[in-house]
Structure 1
Amino acid sequence: MRVLFIGDIVGKPGRTMLSERLPLLKMHYAPHYVIVNGENAAHGRGITKKIVEDFLAMGIDVITMGNHTWDNRSIMETIVDEPRLLRPINFPPGTPGSGVATVTSSIDPDLPPLAVVNVMGRSFLPPLDDPFRALDDVVNRLIKEGIRHIWVDVHAEATAEKQAIGWYLDGRASAVVGTHTHVQTADARILPGGMAYLTDVGMTGPMNGILGMEREGVLARFLTQLPSRFEVYEEGPRELSFVVVDLDEKGRATSIERGRIVEDAHAEGWTVNTADTAYHVFTHALTNAPVNASTGGLTVSTDVSTDPSAEDKP
């Protein structure tokens, strides 16, 4: 089973990049399931019913959210009516919607179902219920129901909190992948219990803003400590950040590959970081992963980790 997860979609630039490049990713990776984080999809804050419908029409199986879940209050009804739109499981009891969805592959209905769980961290974010205990309740219930393939989106600020959740779920979940920071991390790996892990998948949206937002507003906040409005950066090149995980029949990860599609890499003064280039060349030498493979004006960089002992595990 192959799962494609695409990082935080930021505003119209992110939505356009997704609609344009998702067919390329599907053609290249042939995923059985596609998940996106959509909490910034509506002009950087929340999501709307129309965007949810558009994403599902693209063949996306599940949409996860985070701390911007309720920024568009019109989503209250949609999140109740559409089980494939998730909000974090650790919102207080009685909150509309659900934080877990179990879906069947439209590509191959004979494959086992995939459970997708959305949880939010508490470090530097609103103090929701304990994510560890919430995950215990949900993941243990799924296992008792016979669900072996469990994907967890940890929407959190602190890398330590994400890593802690990863180790806490190793051997129970199939994959723990972080969202929220909009910056892809370089720590894709398979933990000893057979779980794929990545601290943050990154974002899909404008590259030349600050986390997808106009630079001026963000800089003003840092320089003055006064309130300033953040707007999506609408111009220039875009990126799409993703991770692909292969799972065996028992729900254990056999490979994890993180990647970024970068549009117009040299536009508006953006240049390829030589350290990154050297890193990817080094990765390529070890894993034979595609490096800077240009397709249709795009630069695709990937980094692959595999579990060499997967076949030996009982």
Structure 2
Amino acid sequence: FDRKEILPLFEQGAADGRLLRPANYPGSTPGRGLWVGHSRGGAPCAVLNLQGRVFMPQIDCPFQTADRLLGQLPKDIKVILVDMHAETTSEKQAMGWYLDGRVSAVLGTHTHVPTADEKILPGGTAYVTDVGMTGPYESVIGNVKEDVLKRFLTGLPQRLDVAAGDARLCGAVLEIDDSTGRARTLERITLKDNRL
């Protein structure tokens, strides 16, 4: 929300479900944090975006928000993906364990660097601490290296611009049983510029 030009996109995205903001933001915040619809194969599904609170702005509890929103979903929705946008590994791991068996996947985001801890928890929930970013690889979490280095070396505020070149798309590919919502497989992926 730092760049105000995105606000209309959140309003538009709320209408078709393509752009979500954390569900535990105040209700007056533009957009929405839960999408309910159908997969390409026709299975009922939902996507829930939550933001952690450790080292982040203090907003509503993501755990309680998850409970509330999951409790409101129609019972026929078995495939549920959760984007847990948080700073700390511990908060993301805690959410994975908390939602194990209730959602299909808890996929961590925010730190820009993919982690190698993907697993399927005992209750059938796929989990990874961070799926990584989509953006320039020759950078410091997407920013021009020299800008970041100047900030670290001088201790002074420095405008950080987005780096260019060598784009990578990081994420995860899941196979989920439509009838139970349990994850069958989880694979971390990184696609290089020439494959995008």
User: TM-score of the superposition, structure 2-length normalised?
Assistant: 0.90
Aligned to 2:46: 115
C-alpha RMSD over aligned residues:
1.9
The CA distance in 2 between the partners of 1:69 and 1:258, in whole Å, is 30
Contact 2:14–2:20 under 8 Å retained in 1? no
Q: Which position in structure 1 is the counterpart of 2:135?
A: 205
Secondary structure at the counterpart of residue 74 of structure 1 = helix
Instruction: Assess, with a 3 A threshold, how the Cα gap between structure 1 residues 69 and 138 changes in structure 2: closer, same or farther.
Output: farther
Determine the structure 2 residue equivalent to 1:64.
none
- Matched residue, 1:105: 39
Q: What CA distance in whole angstroms lies between the structure 1 residues aligned with 2:147 and 2:25?
A: 30
- Compared with structure 1, are the counterparts of its residues 197 and 76 closer, same or farther at alpha carbon in structure 2 (3 Å cutoff)? closer
The structure with the greater share of residues assigned to helix is 1
> 1:261 Cα deviation (Å)?
1.7
Q: Distance in 2 between matches of 1:168 and 1:71?
A: 35
User: Is the CA contact 1:90–1:131 (under 8 Å) kept in the aligned structure 2?
Assistant: yes
Q: What is the DSSP-based 3-state SS (H/G/I as helix, E as strand, rest coil) of the residue aligned with 2:164?
A: coil
Rounded to whole Å, the distance in 2 between the matches of 1:96 and 1:164 is 28
Displacement of 1:221 in angstroms is 2.0
Q: Map Cα deviations across residues 149-191 of structure 1 (whole Å, 9 max, x no partner).
A: 1100011110110000000000101100011111000000000
Letter in 2 for 1:127: Q
Offset, 1:86: 1.1
> Which region of structure 1 is more displaced relative to structure 2, 219-228 or 182-191?
219-228
CA 69–247 in structure 1, closer or farther in 2 if over 3 Å, else same: farther
Note closer, same or farther for the CA distance 1:130–1:71 as it changes in structure 2 (3 Å cut): farther
User: Which whole-Å CA distance do the structure 2 matches of 1:254 and 1:82 have between them?
Assistant: 28
The alpha carbon displacement at 1:70 in A equals 5.5
**1:105 positional shift:** 2.6
Secondary structure at 2:6 match in 1: coil
Q: How does 1:75-224 map to 2 (within 5 A)?
A: 75-106=9-40, 108-109=41-42, 112-142=43-73, 145-224=75-154
Question: Which amino acid in 2 is paired with 1:194?
Answer: G
SS in structure 2 of the partner of residue 138 of structure 1: helix
List alignment gaps of at least 5 residues for structure 1: 1-45, 47-67, 264-296, 299-314
Percentage of pairs with the same residue? 47
| Aligned: 1:247 with 2:181 | no
Aligned equivalents of 2:170, 2:8: Cα separation in 1? 28
Higher-Rg structure is 1
Equivalent position of 1:312 in the other structure: none
- Which whole-Å deviations, capped at 9, do the CAs of 1:77-105 have from their partners, x for residues lacking one? 32443333211000013323211111213
- In structure 2, do the counterparts of structure 1 residues 172 and 80 end up closer, same or farther at CA, with 3 Å as the change threshold? closer
Structure 2 contact 7–30 (Cα < 8 Å) conserved:
no
Q: CA deviation at 1:242?
A: 1.7
Deviates more, 1:166-175 or 1:132-141: 132-141
Deviation at 1:76, TM superposition (A): 5.0
Higher RCO (CA 8 Å, separation ≥ 6 residues): 1
d(CA) in 2 for partners of 1:73, 1:133: 26
